[in-house]
């Protein structure tokens, strides 16, 4: 038995830590981590997976928070997992944040164009259908955000949170003005995520006509708010122009200007630039160009323009 | 004893590494790491903490360099720790780098505005009081830098290094033109970091008047340079307009233009745009808009405009 | 023997995982990882090194893919390793992506200038010779990319892939229009990487004359394509202006406009702005300013302008 103890002590001392640059030092004493932060890190690593749904289903995580994910190619990144809403397992993959409602396709409009309103760039920055990434999860109410999950995760449904700008992560859920998700599994018909959906339905000026070339939509189930509060989220004078209770992708206005996502609504008229976000790089009416297009129709109405649009997959 | 050796060999072979994708392989041989770089990585992980001060106090690290930090939410990031100055434990959280002194709130002016001088955007990009992050520690003399520690760390004091642009990390300390820190613990009265300080003292055009609405200041202790070299760091014709030996936050000029930080000085006149950095998104005099406002008053004087301003917490 | 098993079980249960926040939980069962993704992560960590060449030579990796690298200072990052071409060991350090061929030194032109064509900024953003980094490996056909390896790795040779824009990582090798590498070890005469090379040969307007101040060049060996397909990669009317089968660094045109890299060619006339990429921040002819200068000479010719230029070191 002494042999064992001796050898085990050796294992203990030599294999599980480092001394100086290369000689190992223990990281655990009496069954607990000497550094609790390292324990938390290892706990997160143990559940590393390709989506928050896998983390929930395979590894049993139940707490909302920042987790470590990987793409199939082996790129590692961190993002926020919503582990509670409607069964949990939702991965934050993007946020659309308007940094300057008066800037028309100016710096920071990564979900439309940072090149100014420009007819020679009908898809603008192209972020809806490429692998460029930007921002961080914790910063996603203060800046545009897109991670590798946006194009790498294979998902069925989408969830959207409208969170007041600059809100801190631990307040997102409680401060969200609107939260809703799809249960239709509509993504499986469109390649399994928005990257593939937008490859098929390009967000490109002139690629289609208002209403007749509208992309996919799905009814939503509300987690915060309802159809009425969705209606009241947009400016009074455009509330007749959409139907609440849906999420709609890739729509055009009467000028053939392209938008990416109508959050909480389905357009029934041809002015979706007052309630849809993201877009191509050109609009015949210049004031419609930008991450939040012309959501500021009524300058005195402080509704949708004050919140970031957080997009989750499951 | 053979039993033990046999089983231990099994532990050794199966638990401490990987073979192919999932079968473990040893990482340590004869008490040292087979791959020394992995040893260094594990050494850094062992001291993972929420600030460089914790790394120093709890884990005994004494060397300047890049360490791994975490926010309370569990976002991991890397930054530079100054472990030697005045007892060490200083976390690099930001750098203000002027990429184009002639660009007036142009691309790269993340500490003022990238939207051009614009009265409708009085806080500009808002980086002083939001959770957007950008840049990297090693790149912080070549680009603006802000990490999660800026808003997540709870600190008492601030240290500032003025390092020549494009200087490599291992030369920062020796090449710094000026280095100083506070010992007044002034941050504890203002929320524990600059994020909270600037929530209370917004860097917003028109939010106050020159001198009468000046934000907090603190005397500094010099690590490189002194009050005289601080005076000589700014253009000759403005040296009467400040008092050396302080750091001052959120000041206005006579036009109500807002600036974030006066490094090494406290304004006594109403033209701080010649020696303070960062700012809101609008200045009635357009040439004052930008990360380094109008520090280039005297175009032939190559002082403060050639260095990045590195900000540390402790 | 029971003693051993008992104690080993303790080691097994307590040392190799976590339970809750700090108490360990096993990560391996019956010799394989409970979570295969964690196994893959540990496999990548085991080969952590300062370059893909070290990963290949010291740790025997043979598969193309994303690996974990470190700088000497201890900054960790991920990038793509080409482990097959001509013996493998190539580290992706950068990509030059043209996001808007009509934007003249506009947002996204990080390898020339994002400040507009501006004589007061002759080096533009300065990315070729500083430590700013941007983008991600997986996004490098959709956005400019530069990692810490660009300035931190000590290398001998360069490899270049011309990959169609927005191509996904697993298709890069097969879809590349052109691939070639140097074998001359020319980098050892120029500081061991492009960062040091461009410190010596600044990409600065007015710093030299066409042809007489051309920087280093090296012949290339082709991996995809040949001298003829290189010729046909550029617009018909400029094919007499270069010699195929080389890579050339830091050239000037007849206006003293500076360019960084002529991929696959060596200029023999004074209009390299039609086939070289990257550049300073000023060109007397404004339409030459930008990451891809004036590669769109012939608007109907869709050759080089549709691909990103991926740069590897070995």
Q: Test A138 with B148 for CB contact under 8 angstroms.
A: yes
B173 secondary structure, DSSP code: H
Q: Return the residue of C nearest to A16 by Cα.
A: C15
Q: What is each CA distance from A287 to A71, A101, A103, A116, B6, in whole angstroms? A: 38, 10, 9, 11, 74
CA distance C187 to chain A (A): 29
Nearest CA in chain B to A99: B125
Identify from A22, A133, A287 which residue to disrupt to test chain B contact, counting B C-beta atoms within 10 A and taking the largest count: A22
Based on the fold, state whether residues A37 and A125 are members of the same structural domain: no
* Domain assignment present for A196: yes
pLDDT in tens, B295-313: 988 888 877 999 999 999 9
Say whether C56 sits in a helix, a strand or coil: helix
Same domain, A42 and A101: no
Distances (CA, A) of A30 to A40, A77, B52, B243, C18: 17, 32, 26, 56, 13
Characterize the bridge pairing of strands A246-252 and B246-252: unpaired
Q: Taking Cα atoms as reference points, which of A282, A313, A302 lies closest to residue A197?
A: A313
- Asked if the C-beta of A121 comes within 8 angstroms of chain C's C-beta atoms, the answer is yes
Residues of C in contact with A121 (CB under 8 A): 100, 102-103
| Cα gap A65→A44, rounded to integer Å | 10
User: What band does B23 get if pLDDT is binned at 50, 70 and 90?
Assistant: low
Question: CA angle, A242 as apex, A240 and A247 as ends, to 5°?
Answer: 160
Q: In chain B, whose CA is at the least distance from the CA of C3?
A: B4
For residue range B265-285, list pLDDT tens digits in order: 999 999 999 999 999 999 999
Q: Where are the beta strands (DSSP E) in B118-164?
A: 145-146, 158-164
Q: How far apart are CA B210 and CA B251, in angstroms?
A: 7
Cα distances from B4 to residues A4, A118, B30, B170, C5, in angstroms, run 6, 73, 18, 48, 8
Structural domain contains residue C24: no
Residues B300, B273 share a domain? yes
Q: State whether B32 and A23 contact (CB < 8 Å).
A: yes
Q: What is the pLDDT averaged over residues C270-298? A: 95
Q: How many CA atoms are closer than 13 Å to the CA of C123, on its beta-carbon side?
A: 13
Residues B125 and B65 in one domain: yes
CB contact under 8 A, A138 and B73: yes
Residue C14 has pLDDT above 80, yes or no: no
Residues B266, B181 within the same domain: yes
Residues recorded for chain C: 314
B34-77 residue pLDDT tens? 999 999 999 999 999 999 999 999 999 999 999 999 999 999 99
The answer on pLDDT for B14 being more than 60 is: no
What angle in degrees, to the nearest 10, is found between the helix axes of C36-46 and A36-46?
120
Return d(Cα A23, Cα A25) in angstroms, integer. Answer: 7
Contact at 8 Å (CB) between A235 and A298? yes
**Is the model's pLDDT at A9 over the cut of 60?**
no
Q: Chain C neighbours among B 20-49 (CB < 8 Å)?
A: 20-25, 27, 35, 37-38, 40-41, 44
Residue B12 confidence (pLDDT) above 70: no
Residue C243 lies in a domain: yes
Q: Is C130 on the interface with B (CB under 8 A)?
A: yes
pLDDT tens track for A70-128: 999 999 999 999 999 999 999 999 999 999 999 999 999 999 999 999 999 999 999 99
Distance between B273 CA and the closest CA of chain C, angstroms: 21
C70 touches A: beta carbon within 8 Å? no
Point out the least confidently predicted range of A6-20, A88-102, A185-199, B287-301.
A6-20
- Using alpha carbons, list the distances in angstroms from residue A25 to A9, A22, A28, B43: 12, 9, 9, 9
Strands (E), C71-116: 76-82, 90-96
Task: Please tell me the distance from the alpha carbon of residue C21 to that of residue C144, in angstroms, as a whole number.
Answer: 39
Rg of chain B on CA atoms, in Å: 23
Residue A7 has pLDDT above 60, yes or no: no
User: Quick check: helix, strand or coil at residue B307?
Assistant: strand
Q: Where are the alpha helices (DSSP H) in A211-280?
A: 227-233
pLDDT at B27: 93
In a domain? residue A5? no
- C-beta atoms surrounding C185 within 10 Å: 12
DSSP single-letter state for residue C232? H
Same domain (yes/no): A31, A159:
no
Q: Which residues of C touch B24 (CB under 8 A)?
A: 28, 31-33, 39, 42
Chain Cα centroid distance, residue B301: 25
Q: What is the mean pLDDT of chain A?
A: 92
Residue B17 has pLDDT above 80, yes or no: no
pLDDT surpassing 80 at residue C23 = no
Q: Do A164 and A141 fall within a single domain? A: yes
Distance between alpha carbon B157 and the CA centroid of its chain, in Å? 12
Provide the pLDDT for residue B25: 82
For C2, the 3-state DSSP assignment is: helix
Which letter does DSSP use for residue C103 in this model?
-
Res. A6: pLDDT tops 60: no
The rounded Cα B68 to chain-centroid distance in angstroms is 16
Measured CA distances, C266 to C181, C211, C248 (Å)? 14, 10, 6
- Go through B7-28 and write b for each residue having 16 or more CB atoms within 10 A of its CB, e for each that does not: bbeebbebbbbbbeebbbbbbb
Q: At what angle do helices A2-15 and B2-15 cross, to 10 degrees?
A: 20
Q: Are A16 and A28 a contacting pair, CB within 8 Å?
A: yes
Residues B30 and B158 in one domain: no
Q: What is the Cα B227 distance to its own chain's centre?
A: 22
Q: Chain B within 8 Å of A169 (Cβ-Cβ)?
A: yes
Structural domain total, chain C: 1
Which CA distances in Å does A236 have to A297, A304, B134?
9, 12, 37
Q: What is the torsion angle, in degrees rounded to the nearest 10, for the CA atoms of residue A10, residue A14, residue A15 and residue A16?
A: 110
Contact yes or no for A111/C122 (Cβ under 8 A): no
Inter-residue contact A127 to A111 (CB < 8 Å): yes
The rounded distance, in Å, linking the Cα atoms of A91 and A219 is 20
Interface test with A, best of B35, B75, B118 (most A CBs within 10 A): B75
Beta bridge partners of B247: B218
Tell me how many residue pairs between chain A and chain B have CB atoms under 8 A apart.
Answer: 124
What is the Cα–Cα distance from B202 to B193, expressed in whole angstroms? 14
ipTM score of the complex?
0.92
**β-strand pairing of A242-244 with A265-267:** antiparallel
- Per the CB < 8 A criterion, the answer to whether A135 and A302 are in contact is no
Instruction: Indicate if A93 and A212 belong to the same structural domain.
Output: yes
Q: Give per-residue pLDDT as tens, B134-181.
A: 999 999 999 999 999 999 999 999 999 999 999 999 999 999 999 999
Task: Mutation target for B interface from C117, C121, C130, C203: give the one with most B CBs within 10 A.
Answer: C130
Please state whether B7 falls in left (phi above 0), alpha (psi between -120 and 50) or beta. alpha
Does residue A98 belong to any structural domain of this protein? Answer: yes
A136 contacts in chain B (CB < 8 Å): 75, 133, 148
Answer yes or no: is B42 within a domain: no
Could you report how far apart the first and last alpha carbons of chain A are, in Å?
52
Give B161-165 contacts, CB < 8 A, sequence gap 24+: B161/B224, B161/B309, B161/B310, B161/B312, B162/B233, B162/B263, B162/B304, B162/B307, B162/B308, B162/B309, B162/B310, B163/B307, B163/B308, B163/B310, B164/B306, B164/B307, B164/B308, B165/B97, B165/B141, B165/B306, B165/B307, B165/B308
The span from the CA of C307 to the CA of C175, in Å, is 10
Q: B36 and A20 in contact by Cβ < 8 A?
A: no
* Model pLDDT, residue B3: 36
Specify if A114 maps to a domain.
yes
Q: In Å, what is the CA distance from A91 to each residue of A80, B66, B117, B283, C129?
A: 6, 30, 38, 41, 38
CB neighbourhood size of B286 (10 A): 12
Check if the beta carbon of residue C217 is closer than 8 Å to that of residue C247: yes
Do A39 and A159 share a domain, yes or no? no
Q: Is the dihedral of CA B56, B61, B64, B66 positive or negative?
A: negative
CA distance C111 to chain B (A): 14
Asked if B100 has any chain C CB less than 8 Å from its own CB, the reply is yes
- Closest chain C C-alpha to A31 CA, distance in angstroms: 5
Q: Indicate if B108 and B249 belong to the same structural domain.
A: yes
Judging contacts by C-beta atoms under 8 Å, the chain A residues touching residue B4 are 3-4, 7
Domain of residue B30 covers 1-34
- Contacting residues for B157 by C-beta, under 8 A, at least 6 apart: B181, B182, B183, B184, B185, B186, B187, B218, B313, B314
* Contact across the interface for B139 and C130, Cβ inside 8 Å: yes
Report the pLDDT averaged over residues B107-116.
97
pLDDT at position A25, please? 82
Contact flag C48-B65 (C-beta cutoff 8 Å): no
| CB contact A8 to C (< 8 Å) | yes
Does residue A260 have a pLDDT over 60?
yes
Kindly state whether residues A169 and A270 are assigned to the same domain.
yes
Nearest to C35 among A12, A59, A125 (CB): A59
A48 min Cα distance to partner chain C (Å): 6
Q: Kindly list the residues from chain B whose CB atom is less than 8 angstroms away from the CB atom of residue A100.
A: 115, 118, 121
What subunits touch chain A, counting only 3 or more CB pairs under 8 A?
B, C
At residue B173, the pLDDT reads: 96
- Cβ(B125)–Cβ(B112) under 8 Å? yes
- Check residue B7 and give its pLDDT: 33
Residue A193 has pLDDT above 50, yes or no: yes
Helices (H), chain A: 2-15, 36-46, 52-59, 149-152, 172-175, 194-200, 227-233
What are the residue ranges of helices labelled H in B259-301?
none
**pLDDT mean across residues, chain C:** 92
Which residue among A1, A43, A70 sits closest to C37, beta carbon to beta carbon? A70
pLDDT in tens, A283-310: 999 999 999 999 988 888 877 999 999 9
How many Å apart are CA B217 and CA B238, to the nearest integer?
Answer: 20
C35 class by beta-carbon count within 10 Å (0-12 exposed, 13-18 middle, 19+ buried): buried
* Distance (Å, whole) CA A66 – CA A44: 9
Q: Which of the residues C131, C192, C193 would you substitute to probe the B interface, choosing the one with the greatest number of B C-beta atoms within 10 Å?
A: C131
In a domain? residue C34? no
Which residue from A39, A142, A42, A140 is spatially nearest to A91, judged by alpha carbons?
A140
């Amino acid at each position: 038995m002494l042999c064992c103890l001796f050898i085990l002590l050796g294992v203990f001392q030599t294999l599980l830590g480092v001394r100086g640059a290369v000689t190992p030092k223990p990281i655990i004493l009496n069954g607990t981590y000497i550094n609790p932060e390292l324990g938390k890190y290892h706990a997160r690593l143990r559940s590393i997976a390709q989506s928050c749904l896998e983390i929930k289903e395979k590894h049993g995580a139940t707490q909302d928070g920042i987790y470590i994910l990987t793409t199939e190619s082996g790129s590692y990144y961190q993002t926020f997992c919503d582990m509670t809403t409607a069964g949990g397992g939702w991965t934050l993959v993007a946020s659309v944040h308007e940094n300057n409602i008066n800037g028309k396709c100016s710096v920071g409009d990564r979900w439309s164009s940072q090149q100014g309103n420009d007819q020679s760039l009908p898809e603008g920055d192209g972020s809806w259908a490429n692998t460029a990434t930007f921002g961080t999860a914790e910063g996603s109410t203060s800046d545009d955000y897109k991670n590798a999950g946006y194009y790498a995760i294979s998902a069925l449904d989408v969830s959207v949170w409208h969170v007041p700008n600059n809100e801190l992560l631990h307040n997102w859920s409680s401060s969200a003005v609107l939260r809703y998700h799809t249960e239709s599994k509509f993504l499986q018909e469109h390649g399994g995520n928005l990257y593939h959906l937008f490859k098929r339905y390009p967000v490109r000026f002139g690629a289609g006509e208002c209403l007749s070339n509208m992309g996919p939509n799905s009814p939503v189930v509300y987690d915060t708010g309802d159809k009425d509060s969705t209606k009241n989220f947009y400016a009074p004078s455009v509330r007749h122009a959409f139907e609440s209770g849906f999420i709609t992708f890739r729509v055009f206005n009467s000028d053939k200007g392209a938008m990416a996502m109508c959050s909480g609504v389905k357009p029934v008229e041809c002015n979706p630039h007052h309630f849809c976000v993201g877009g191509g790089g050109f609009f015949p009416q210049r004031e419609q160009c930008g991450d939040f297009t012309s959501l500021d129709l009524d300058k005195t109405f402080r509704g949708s323009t004050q919140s970031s649009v957080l997009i989750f997959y499951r």
